[in-house]
Structure 1
Amino acid sequence: MNKSTFTYMLPLALFAASAYADSHKTIAVENELNTVVNELLSTATLNNQLLTEQSNDIQKVMIEDGVKIGISSRRWLDSEVAVFKDKYGYKPTELYFTSDAVAILVNEDNPIKSISINALADIFGCKSSLEPVQWQSVNPILANHSELTQVQAYSVNGDLSAHRNFTKMITCYDGQKTATKSLSNRDDLIDTIESKENAIGYTVYQSQDKDIKRIDIIDKNGESFGLDHETILSGRYPLANVYYMYLNLEPTNSSLSSQQTDFVNYVMTPEAQQTLIKNGFIGLPSAAIERNKVVLKQQQPEIQGGYK
């Protein structure tokens, strides 16, 4: 899809000069997204190169500094939307950008189907002194399986470097250590789990991993959730992050610069989705892309087995 098509998809009108000179050539991103967003910018066809501004408070940057595009893992609070609307006269536009999730993998012969957040913390978390975790203590269903003994935990070195949620649970501080053994790559992790009945591992979710057993996660309320696009994008899967792209977009679609418009449309293309996947994120399902286009008034909503 060429640049002229992008511009047609999200038409622009002339806009008044912003009080912030850089607001039309800047995208505010959370720190862990900076690398992948810059890679997307390098492959998009833009008249002028956009810049990224790293921030852990995207909402504040968009409200106070007038930045027109912000990518955040946190949805806006009602109070923040109210302040934005009071200043600009309309609400920020919310689009799906990407997501990531951690998959918990076990050996195929392990009968366990789900595991709690607390059990994951016991297995993979960092402690001042390590005590062996037995499979029988992880889930009551394993009480009669004497062949399952001490839990053997594995991960991939650097696998979660760009992902924030699960990282908090397994980060070690001074004087702490973990029983998790770090392997060099994803193939080694899968091979190890497939060969060791007592093994469990975590890795960034990739939908093509179909031959390895993934187990559901029990959240702090006792509800169990499997790993799929629906549970991830709805925010129900406990080990997932959903990233949203927010726009300061007037009802007339006249707030963005032409290169910002091109970028917004580019991130919904198959090429951009492959870049996200290559960097360990999850490509948007077609329903999410269609939802984005409806929000941008690029297409009408469809009714097909229910509202999209």
Structure 2
Amino acid sequence: MLLRSLLLFFLALPVAVAQDYTKKPGVAGNITSVGSDTLGNLMTFWAEEFKRIYPHVTFQIQASGSSTAPAALTEGTANIGPMSRQLKESEIAYFSKTHGYQPTVLIVAVDAIALFVDLHNPVQGLNLQQIDSIFSSTRYCGGPEPLRFWHQAGLDGEWQGKRIKLFSRNSVSGTYGLFKEKALCQGDFLKTVNEQPGSASVVQSVAYSDGALGYAGFGYKTAGVRALPVAREGLNYVAPTMENIASGEYPLSRFLYIVVNKQPDQPLPLLVREFLRFILSSQGQDLVSRDGFIPIPKRLKGQQLRMIEQ
């Protein structure tokens, strides 16, 4: 509920007409990014455009899952940590014990977790209780029975008796963790769920598997799949459109983050600071839209910039 409240507050504000990025002298060196697969493509787009401005900057991008970001930042093997979920208390504690202060967390985009089926699947939508009953072994969200076949979700004809084949992100993924929290009420996944190393492979598997259902970042939608409307309860389905995600009405909306190691009352290293300023500029936020995500609103962008400049 806290995340949804934040989404509703910030996303109700007008979207910024972001300022253009202005080149600064002396920017060179290497940026190492370790973290979210969901942000993997966007990190690559940001890096390519930033290198056009600063040819002497190099990037190493490892999109191995959000859970790899905090450790890499804490241990100094990365200076950028993309994450598709909030930091866990244990991750903050580990960082704080090592450095004596907390990591700095910046909101850089808005996204949603989408439920994908193949184009031939006629299911109208699913509510969160049904989703939990399909994916979990625990049904902590209150579903009366397991849902293992498509006819249990209201389909008939050729779908009668057709098993729901499930695809999921792996456990190091922020998408996995957030889906577990919001759609499974922190329950356990079925052991028959097919875990995939990335969102793109989830979507591809759904597109080519009869009777498949999978979840991934909305930005990974392709022509071979359909993103299902989702209801918090009953049949009040909300389609995962840009407008519904931006308003917070879509139940599985989320912020996307970049975490950095910034000492209190000390400026960030020039290279890291300028890369983050670029991400929050009009050029950087245009790339957010181009990759299928939603730019952050004006007031929220101003808050992130102030955190960078402190």
TM-score by length of 1: 0.53
- Identify the match of residue 57 of structure 2 among 49, 52, 61: 49
Q: 5+ unaligned residues in a row in structure 2: which ranges?
A: 1-19, 137-146, 180-188, 197-204
| Structure 1 counterpart of 2:76 | 65
Paired residues of 1:154 and 1:181 also in contact (CA < 8 A): no
What per-residue deviation string (whole Å, max 9, x for no partner) do you get for residues 94-141 of structure 1? 11133342155799x97767362146549xxxxxxxx99454x225xx
CA distance in 1, matches of 2:96, 2:174: 31
Kindly indicate whether residue 229 of structure 2 is the aligned counterpart of residue 215 of structure 1. Answer: yes
What per-residue deviation string (whole Å, max 9, x for no partner) do you get for residues 183-222 of structure 1? 7xxxxxxxxxxxxxx999988636x9xxx99522459xx9
Instruction: State the AA in 1 paired with 2:276.
Output: V
Show the 5 A alignment for 1:121-200.
121=135, 133-135=149-151, 137-138=152-153, 150=160, 165=176, 171=194, 182=207
Kindly indicate whether residue 265 of structure 2 is the aligned counterpart of residue 252 of structure 1. Answer: yes
Q: 1:216 to 1:34 in 2, by over 3 A?
A: closer
Q: 1:236 to 1:247 in 2, by over 3 A?
A: farther
Post-superposition shift, 1:292? 4.2
Instruction: State the AA in 1 paired with 2:283.
Output: E
Kindly indicate whether residue 235 of structure 2 is the aligned counterpart of residue 229 of structure 1. Answer: no
- Identify the match of residue 85 of structure 1 among 87, 96, 99: 96
| Structure 2 counterpart of 1:267 | 279
| Structure 2 counterpart of 1:291 | 300
More helix by share: 2
Paired residues of 2:112 and 2:218 also in contact (CA < 8 A): yes
Instruction: State the AA in 2 paired with 1:117.
Output: I
CA distance in 1, matches of 2:207, 2:163: 9
Instruction: State the AA in 1 paired with 2:245.
Output: H
Q: 1:217 to 1:265 in 2, by over 3 A?
A: same
Q: 5+ unaligned residues in a row in structure 1: which ranges?
A: 13-21, 123-130, 174-179, 184-197, 300-308
Instruction: State the AA in 2 paired with 1:261.
Output: R
Instruction: State the AA in 2 paired with 1:273.
Output: Q
| Structure 2 counterpart of 1:125 | none
Q: Which has the larger radius of gyration?
A: 1
CA distance in 1, matches of 2:301, 2:108: 9
Q: 1:150 to 1:285 in 2, by over 3 A?
A: farther
Kindly indicate whether residue 123 of structure 2 is the aligned counterpart of residue 117 of structure 1. Answer: no
What per-residue deviation string (whole Å, max 9, x for no partner) do you get for residues 137-188 of structure 1? 225xx8xxx8896498999xxxx9x99547x986379xxxxxx9737xxxxx
Post-superposition shift, 1:62? 0.9
Paired residues of 1:71 and 1:245 also in contact (CA < 8 A): yes
- The count of aligned residue pairs is 238
What per-residue deviation string (whole Å, max 9, x for no partner) do you get for residues 203-258 of structure 1? 8636x9xxx99522459xx99884433686x9962xx66431012123335232x2
* Percent identity (aligned): 14
Paired residues of 1:152 and 1:200 also in contact (CA < 8 A): no
Paired residues of 2:95 and 2:102 also in contact (CA < 8 A): yes
